[in-house]
Copies of this chain bind each other. A is one copy, B any other.
Amino acid sequence: MSSYERVTAHFEDADSLREEGRRKMDWALQHMPICQSLREEFADEKPFDGETIGMAMHVEAKTAILVETLAIGGAEVAVTGCNPLSTHDDVSVALDAVDNVTSYAVRGVDDDDYYAAIESVIDHEPTITVDDGADMVFRIHQEHPELIDSIVGGAEETTTGVHRLRAMDEDGELQYPMFAVNDTPMKRLFDNVHGTGESALSAIAMTTNLSWAGKTVVVAGYGYCGKGVASKAAGQNANVVVCEVEPRKALEAHMEGYDVLPMAEAAAEGDVFITTTGNRDVITREHFEDMGDGAVLANAGHFDVEINLDDLDDLAVDRYEARDGVEAFEMDDGRRLNVLAEGRLVNLAAPVGLGHPVEVMDQSFGVQAVCVRELVENGDAYDAGVHDVPDELDKEVAEIKLAADGVEYDGLTDEQIEYMSSWQHGT
């Protein structure tokens, strides 16, 4: 059974599904000027001729534009999802219809099928891998070490994935070069701060129909995602409380003007709780016990481990769907705690979830695309292990974006360059 058949087997009308997916992709492309610019370059130069790219990403319209952009550059691309709930089937079908692309992503698959789809991608024997969460690279190392020799390298999209890869690297187990796309200024500042910040809040607002103004919003974690969520929530007139474990980040939040509290104290204060730590058990039994009736809990971190739902289920006398994407847990004292999207990444997994905004992903995927080009062109220059994205690539994407947005900026004169690099200037 072809991948196309596999994805569409249980749908009545694959054609309309494909058209719908294509329409979504066209909308995304209209608002992805960086990918537009790179497609023109890649269409001319075909930098990926002869390469096979294996990808495990959130299969929705924007990622699809990256996939298509790589295919336009000459690659054969096989792709599947990196989260069972984030796939848009219509986009998957539309993507599968693109020349040189095969998509195995299906929404709502169980664990077995999820890993089977990753295996299907690996069957294509990729020479380059592109991950969002490191599942693909991890699977290849564990189950298909024989493929590693022919792999030039890969790129990883998220904080969490880079975290896993660095741990592998420290253990000496990472066998090919991986670009930590997540760690670039581009990615961290724009994707994490603006992308997660805006889309998590929109998804929560549209899932709950609640207001931010006057709400106490507890943000767990003050990394790039947490900063974005905190700043954008304050920008909607929420009263923001930050929970942190690193003293300098806690101090940074304090100096920004936020209340900083341990979660044990924040629990009773908060109306909405948003986790962004990348860690587990950020909100647990002791916190649930102190929360007020109607509290809303959402996770904006990669994995669904931040809110301990087992603890919550233990405490609950009843659970029911209060609203699409909202499960209410009723305590024995009548309090209702409302968990969004089963504690999964709320901007993707909520029923209204669209993931990151288009333009933010355009920046992130622009970096992905030039990283893949770098691997093809200069892959030999990189040892096995996690690599920062070379500064020049990151800069190139910024320049493309500024040009596309019509933003001009200054250059340095020779005298200024000389001044910056000299130290013979006194008071």
Q: Is A133 an interface residue (CB 8 A)?
A: yes
A-B contact pairs, 24 of them (CB 8 A): A23-B322, A31-B294, A61-B209, A134-B423, A163-B423, A164-B423, A167-B421, A189-B255, A190-B251, A211-B356, A211-B360, A214-B256, A214-B405, A232-B235, A235-B236, A243-B410, A244-B410, A247-B402, A247-B409, A251-B398, A251-B402, A279-B412, A279-B416, A305-B425
Neighbouring B residues of A239 by C-beta, 8 Å: 257-259
Tell whether, in the assembled complex, residue B426 and residue A138 are in contact, meaning their CB atoms are under 8 Å apart: yes
Q: Is A382 an interface residue (CB 8 A)?
A: no
Q: Is A18 an interface residue (CB 8 A)?
A: no
Q: Is A359 an interface residue (CB 8 A)?
A: yes
Q: Is A50 an interface residue (CB 8 A)?
A: no
Tell whether, in the assembled complex, residue A409 and residue B244 are in contact, meaning their CB atoms are under 8 Å apart: yes
Tell whether, in the assembled complex, residue B257 and residue A357 are in contact, meaning their CB atoms are under 8 Å apart: no
Cβ contacts A405-427/B at 8 Å (1 or 0 each): 10111111101100111110111
Query: How far, in angstroms, from A171 to B305 measured CA to CA in the complex?
Result: 50
Q: Is A298 an interface residue (CB 8 A)?
A: no
Neighbouring B residues of A208 by C-beta, 8 Å: 27, 358
Question: Of residues 15 to 37 in A, which have CB atoms within 8 Å of B's CB atoms?
Answer: 23-24, 26-28, 30-31
Question: Of residues 117 to 176 in A, which have CB atoms within 8 Å of B's CB atoms?
Answer: 133-135, 138, 163-165, 167-168, 171
Question: Of residues 347 to 383 in A, which have CB atoms within 8 Å of B's CB atoms?
Answer: 352, 354-360
Given A409-B244, A422-B167, A358-B303 contact (CB < 8 Å): no
Q: Is A311 an interface residue (CB 8 A)?
A: no
> Nearest chain B CB to A70's CB is how many angstroms away?
21
Please tell me which one of the listed residues B195, B205, B235, B412 contacts residue A235 in the complex, with CB atoms under 8 A apart: B235
Q: Is A317 an interface residue (CB 8 A)?
A: no
Given A133-B427, A245-B409, A247-B398, A256-B235 contact (CB < 8 Å): no
Query: Which of A6-14, A91-99, A261-269 is found at the contact surface with chain B?
Result: A261-269
Query: How far, in angstroms, from A171 to B212 measured CA to CA in the complex?
Result: 41
Which residue of B has the minimal Cβ distance to A250?
B409
Tell whether, in the assembled complex, residue A213 and residue B31 are in contact, meaning their CB atoms are under 8 Å apart: no
Query: How far, in angstroms, from A411 to B246 measured CA to CA in the complex?
Result: 8
Please tell me which one of the listed residues B214, B244, B357, B420 contacts residue A205 in the complex, with CB atoms under 8 A apart: B357
Neighbouring B residues of A243 by C-beta, 8 Å: 409-410
Neighbouring B residues of A210 by C-beta, 8 Å: 31, 357-359
Output the residue of A83, A206, A240, A422 with the most chain B CB within 10 A: A206
Query: How far, in angstroms, from A247 to B359 measured CA to CA in the complex?
Result: 17
Which residue of B has the minimal Cβ distance to A240?
B257
Given A194-B213, A213-B255, A245-B427 contact (CB < 8 Å): no
Neighbouring B residues of A83 by C-beta, 8 Å: 427
